[in-house]
A = this chain, B = another copy of it.
Amino acid sequence: MYIGIDIGAGSIKAGLVDSENMVLARAVAPTRAESTLDASLSELYGCVDELLGKAGATVHGLGVGVPGAVDHLQGIVYNPPNMPAWKNVPLASLLQDHTGIETRIDNDANCAALGEGHFGAGRGCDNFIVLTLGTGVGAGIVLNRRIHHGTRGFAGEFGHITIDMNGPRCNCGNSGCIEAYIGIHHLMRDALPLLASDADGLLNRRAIEDPDSLEPRDISLAAARGDVTCTAVLRRAGSLLGVAIASAANLLDIVTFIVGGGISAAGAVLFDGIRDSTAHRVLSVHRENLRILPAKLGNDAGILGAATLLR
């Protein structure tokens, strides 16, 4: 029996996972990231205690996924985005002291990658990259079934692959990162003028009258209902993402890419865009083998992946 925990800026999701990788029980709490560290920890301990109470068998390990950069070897959370009270938190030892159970932590994208890879869309695959679309474009890179952490644990910044060296400015300071096109805010910035000028579009009125209310989900829903502009926006996003995927596939000889989060919910339109683009751009040796798969597990990927950190 293991406990896997997925800490986000909004909520803490924990699960009791058995040796067959089934989630037997769940606990959820607000992260209270806007409050103090102690407030967050008290919610976290609450979730863990609740699950330990339900375990009915020895829990052999506790794994936690956290946003942003972590020292996975020392178990320290550096400074997660949108969680200002968390600064260099020795989370693994805190949890270990609280529970007496061995604890490991890793970046949340890495945990999601392990979950999707071992139990979801990447099942049976040794080398793959799991992309999580959202504000940024995060990734977990799995090589020979293990997370590739890199020199200091910062690997997986897929969003900061350049696709056009003269492209738009990215938050990171570089120009033309893939994130500067398909990160949520960038995507919406580029989409709004198109929506506002498409008089027949389903989102035309909102784009003009209440643009701040529009989210990528609205674009996905409108595309699903046949909206031409929204379909084009998502197809273009897929096509741009394909440029970065081709670079990574060529560099690493990785041919399995699993895409989840945010606009991945748009489904076929986005995935068709990715596949068309990579088919044109990837080296011919990879063309037949490249697989672009939708993530399967949703939120459970993080819990299941975290629960494998001690195995």
Q: How far is the CB of A245 from chain B (nearest CB, A)?
A: 10
* Given A161-B247, A281-B162, CB of A143 within 8 Å of CB of B154: no
User: B141, A252: Cβ atoms under 8 Å?
Assistant: yes
* Given A280-B173, A284-B173, CB of A253 within 8 Å of CB of B154: yes
Which residues in B have their C-beta under 8 angstroms from that of A141? Answer: 251-252
* Chain A interface residue number, banded: 35 or more
* Given A164-B164, A281-B162, A283-B157, CB of A149 within 8 Å of CB of B250: no
* Given A143-B143, A243-B165, CB of A151 within 8 Å of CB of B254: yes
User: B283, A253: Cβ atoms under 8 Å?
Assistant: no
User: A253, B155: Cβ atoms under 8 Å?
Assistant: yes
User: B162, A246: Cβ atoms under 8 Å?
Assistant: yes
Partner of A151, one of B127, B156, B165: B127
User: A172, B127: Cβ atoms under 8 Å?
Assistant: no
A193-224 Cβ-contact flags toward B at 8 Å (1 or 0): 00000000000000000000000000000000
User: A154, B286: Cβ atoms under 8 Å?
Assistant: yes
User: B154, A285: Cβ atoms under 8 Å?
Assistant: yes
A260-304 Cβ-contact flags toward B at 8 Å (1 or 0): 000000000000000000001111111001000000000000000
Residue A148, interface by CB 8 Å: yes
* Given A164-B165, A280-B173, A281-B174, CB of A151 within 8 Å of CB of B250: no
Partner of A162, one of B143, B163, B255: B163
Partner of A150, one of B158, B246, B253: B253
Q: A residues engaging B (CB < 8 A)? A: 69, 126-127, 139, 141, 143, 148-158, 160-166, 172-176, 240, 243-244, 246-248, 250-256, 280-286, 289
**Listed A/B pairs (11) with beta-carbon separation below 8 Å:** A126-B151, A127-B151, A151-B256, A154-B285, A156-B251, A160-B250, A162-B243, A163-B164, A163-B165, A164-B164, A165-B243
